[in-house]
Amino acid sequence: MDLSGNIVWITGASSGIGRALAVECARRGATLMLTARREEALEATRLACERPDAHRCMVHDVTLHESHAGVLEAILDTWGRLDVVVLNAGIGQRASIEETDPAVERQIMEINYFGCTEIAHVVLPHFVERNAGHLVVTSSVMGMLSTPRRATYAASKHALHGFFEGLRAELHHTHVDVTLLCAGYIQTDISYHSLKGDGKGHGAMDEQHRNAMSAESFARQAINAVARRKPVVFIGGPERFAPMLQRLSPGLVRWLLPKVITRD
């Protein structure tokens, strides 16, 4: 897929999947607005991209809802339009429901759910007015099922599917597309930064992520799916088939999950 001429906004672009998506989009010719909370890491992502001088970075926290319009305004002032928004910023969880403070559950929802849906509200009028645009959402296999010690994370991803599937249906008469990228285990620091029940960082890399698909491989498959305007795509190792197995044999999956997910 050639993205030449496309203006792409990527949230959570400072590391992991966001950084890999930025590098891949730039390789395919896109011009990027990269946003995240860490300025130095954002600049490192920009410099890792082809044609680094063509791209811009802005420090941006997806939980600061009043700031979203400012990013879109900067994009329109610089390039005159936005073609694709990649709603990628997110955070993981490593705690049981019993030990998780409800305030931490709200924090996860603010980042993973509202941090996507409220940006969608901001960019949608621009896309509809142009009758063109693409909303790309980094979800998870856990947007379709749930596992021990990830319940709130899974709930936030389930909520994304409910919102963006409904939005896609509402946009059926337009040329605005929605793609949900359902990631399995990907080799990133998500487990390291995941929140424990008290809101502190987990601070360790899970074995499943250490030995997983690279973020670069994920990004290539993800952008191929975006190019084909696929509504939903599952990317990862064998775990990507878990939602299909759940549909075929939900009882089997309920029996398996407590056995295959170990305590962190």
State in Å, rounded, how far the first CA of the chain is from the last one. Answer: 39
| Tokens coding 196 | 């424990």
Environment class of 117 (CB within 10 Å of its CB; exposed 0-12, middle 13-18, buried 19+): middle
User: Per DSSP, which regions of the chain are E strands?
Assistant: 7-11, 31-36, 56-59, 84-87, 133-140, 176-183, 186-187, 213-214, 232-235
185 is catalytic: no
Query: Token pair 């906004």 is at which residue?
Result: 9
Percent helix, strand and coil across the chain, each rounded to 5?
A: 50, 15, 30
User: Of 247, 264, 32, 6, which is closest to residue 145 (Cα–Cα)?
Assistant: 247
**Catalytic residue among 113, 153, 185, 192, which?**
153
Within 13 Å of residue 28, how many CA atoms lie on the same side as its CB?
19
Nearest to 31 by CA among 51, 48, 60, 47: 51
Integer angstrom CA distances of residue 82 from 31, 68, 178, 223: 10, 13, 15, 17
Which amino acids are annotated catalytic?
153
